[in-house]
Amino acid sequence: MAHNTGATQLMAIDAVAFDVETTSLNAAEARIVQIGALRINRGRIDSHAHVDKIIDPHIPVPAESTAIHGITNAQTRLAPDLKKAWPGMIEFIRDRIMIGHTIAYDLTVLAHEAARHGLAWEKPRSLCVRLLAPIALPDLHDPTLDKLAAWFDIRIDQRHSALSDSIAAAEIFLKLVPLLKEKGITTLAEAERAILMRNTAGIRQGEDAGWQRPVIDPAEAALAGGIRNYDTYAYRHCVGDVMTRTPFTVRPEASLQDAIEIMTGKGISSVLVSRRESGGHPVDDYAIITERDVMRQIARAGASALGKKAGSVAIAPLLTVREGAFVYRAMSRMRRLKVRHLAVTDDAMNLTGMLSARDLLKLRADAAIALDDAIDDGASAADLASAWGTLPAVVHSLIAEKLDAHTVTRIVSEEIRAMTGRAAILAEQGMQADGFGAPPCPYAVIVLGSGGRGESLLKPDQDNAIIFETGDPGGAQDQWFAELGSRMAETLNEAGIPFCDGGIMAKNDAWRGSVATWQARLAEWVGHANPENLLNVDIFFDQTPVHGARQLSAGLFETAYQMGSQSIPFARALGANASQVSNPFTLFGNIRAENNRLDLKLHGLFPLVSGVRALAIRHNIARHATRHRLEGLIALDRGDTGLMARLIDDHAFLLECLLKSQEREVATGHKPGNFVNLGAFDRPALTRLKSALSDIQYLPQLIQDLMF
């Protein structure tokens, strides 16, 4: 099924190129004599999925019309009428964006034909290549189908055949997509808005002639289409809330009979086989035996299977999910991999519990996992873009459900992490296919900044880095990972997460390195607290792993906080830097805003996040989220704990304000930004905003009190 929203990238939409041939050019009177359509799946024409039907209009086909399209009365008399063809046509275009040249004519004809025959018709979202062309090709005048085909060197086999014309429209659209991207138009809503903004006179002229609009106003679209009737439990809870915290284990030399007795006695559906006598709990030291494994062994060998050693039956490696991941992600992973058990790990890949399908029976799985199932299964940038395009709709719904903004931004961050991890997998697969070989050593891909903190909004960019086990800067290992980083960046950019303006991407030398290289960088940052180093601290000290040997990241994260907390000069520099809070208020206590718009990141989120991070580093509170850092500071029972408690709520409120604003901007075809329109705030919300911004003005004093 197609899943298009206004946020879907043009290169990833599921569409149907469509054209009709008729008895007349008067759309109100015209009868359909031919339907041609073919599907576009995420940037690729599906030549096997097409419609090419002649239709009996039940009126004579005028000779002047036959002269254009070649369809005669003799042909139409042998064809089905529109009522018979209609259901199949509707099913073919269902949930897809309709694309055509002068599509307003086709839409108008369909609407009149539906009314004439009493057929159900709901106008789909649509795009007109005739109206998109002047945006992408301002030098091409009067963009007829023939001129556009010639411009792009596209051959039309049979002009004025409905299928041939729809094929031409599809090919032209795909040629326009990268040109539109160069103009900053990347999503469906942005394309709709651009058409409405730049073709006002032509659209009005068509409407005066009785034609339907060629596109909808994206502001009128239901952004949350298709994200309905789901249980928010899967979005509100983490795997750690529902897992079994003490998995039952047996030794490899135990019998299968022993494993069965534990499962039946404890009422569980699996046991783990521990392959280590003692020590820690790395997940790689375990294998699993499930009820189904037991049944298979008995089916093959009968009762004698019960004497087999557990180690010979158990399956490894374990399939895993992070303890901090949301439940919907575990549900998605189980369904995609067709398994009923997942091992639960911390960021260092230590076993912390087990999750079974039984634990999730109370949840309605299908709706909950719609958000991310396609990311983990994505085989291309277009697949990732299609999945990413559903995210604003989910955010819209979760805000409407009054889900806490801290949770919503964690969900957005989960998807950014998933996108980055999947881009790394695709990059590695591509490198091996191209002869670069396997990774030269274990490595971890990490996400930095807001994605690392779990506080991402809908204005993402790429903040990522790579940690690899061994290797010198510029050496063979580093060069391999430079290629990996470049491919990751390209995939993410194509999928809708743009390049980082500040260059904070693993493809750049400064943001990849061995463990030793990163340790040296940390020592440099902490030992020489200049502005550039402090900026790097702001980014790196939020990092979290998303792919590979996650323990490399976990170790560096703890090391960073230990080093940062032990240096007094570094603490002074952090405190001084974080104490620079701008004042958004006028002399009379009103919010100072230009054109009634306030940069909420500059005046609210940035100083709050930076100040709390500085205090967390000083007190070695090695946590990621701003809320959890504040909770750690409150536990110290020092300073103004009441202010810190309020800041937790303030932070959630500011995140919610920006999320609502950005979701609206995405829906209406605007680029999401960091400004909020104060005119959209009612009086209680404006009072709440003033209160939050006032609390942030006390951050410098809080930093001074707690830094030393």
The tens digit of pLDDT for each residue in 608-617 reads: 999 999 999 9
Give percent of the chain above pLDDT 90.
72
pLDDT in tens, 414-430: 999 999 999 999 999 99
Q: Does residue 636 sit in helix, strand or coil?
A: coil
Provide the angle, in degrees to the nearest 10, between the axes of the packed helices 641-667 and 626-635.
170
- Given this model, what pLDDT does residue 202 score? 80
- Exposure string over 13-22, b if 16+ CB within 10 A, otherwise e: bbbbbbbbbb
Residue 512 has pLDDT above 80, yes or no: yes
pLDDT in tens, 604-643: 999 999 999 999 999 999 999 999 999 999 999 999 999 9
240-368: what fold?
CBS-domain (3.10.580)
Q: How confident is the model at residue 366 (pLDDT cuts 50, 70, 90)?
A: very low
- Given this model, what pLDDT does residue 46 score? 94
Residue 227 has pLDDT above 50, yes or no: no
Please tell me the least confidently modeled range out of 84-88, 116-120, 209-213, 307-311. Answer: 209-213
Residue 368 has pLDDT above 80, yes or no: no
pLDDT in tens, 63-113: 999 999 999 999 999 999 999 999 999 999 999 999 999 999 999 999 999
- Exposure string over 591-615, b if 16+ CB within 10 A, otherwise e: bebeeeebbbbebbbbbbbbbbbbb
373-566: CATH, from 3.40.50.10860, 3.30.70.1350, 3.40.1170.10, 3.30.460.10: 3.30.460.10
* Of 467, 427, 421, 477, residue with least CA distance to 444: 467
Residue 180 has pLDDT above 90, yes or no: yes
If one compares 303 and 442, the residue with the highest pLDDT of the two is: 442
Please tell me the least confidently modeled range out of 68-77, 235-244, 580-589, 645-654. Answer: 235-244
Q: Cα separations (Å) of 643 from 579, 630, 651?
A: 16, 10, 12
Average pLDDT, stretch 250-261?
A: 92
User: What is the overall mean pLDDT for the chain?
Assistant: 91
- Given this model, what pLDDT does residue 68 score? 95
- Please measure the distance between the N-terminal and C-terminal CA atoms of the chain and give it in whole angstroms: 58
Domain extents in the chain: 10-220, 240-368, 373-566, 597-707
Distance of CA 45 to the CA centre of its chain: 24
pLDDT in tens, 456-480: 999 988 999 999 999 999 999 999 9
How many C-alpha atoms does 198 have within 13 Å on its Cβ side? 17
CATH 3.30.420.10 fits domain 10-220: yes
Q: How confident is the model at residue 361 (pLDDT cuts 50, 70, 90)?
A: low
* Of 361, 339, 343, 354, residue with least CA distance to 233: 361
- The stretches of 217-326 forming alpha helices (DSSP H) are 233-236, 239-242, 256-266, 291-301, 310-313
Q: How confident is the model at residue 370 (pLDDT cuts 50, 70, 90)?
A: low
- Given this model, what pLDDT does residue 487 score? 98
- The stretches of 255-402 forming alpha helices (DSSP H) are 256-266, 291-301, 310-313, 327-337, 365-368, 373-377, 381-388, 391-400
- Given this model, what pLDDT does residue 489 score? 97
Residue 9 has pLDDT above 60, yes or no: yes
DSSP letter for each residue of 308-320:
SBHHHH-B-SPPE
Residue 169 has pLDDT above 80, yes or no: yes
The DSSP symbol for 121 reads -
Residue 230 has pLDDT above 80, yes or no: no
Q: What is the pTM of this model?
A: 0.84
Instruction: Quote the CA–CA distance of 199 and 221 in Å, as a whole number.
Output: 20
Residue 1 has pLDDT above 50, yes or no: no
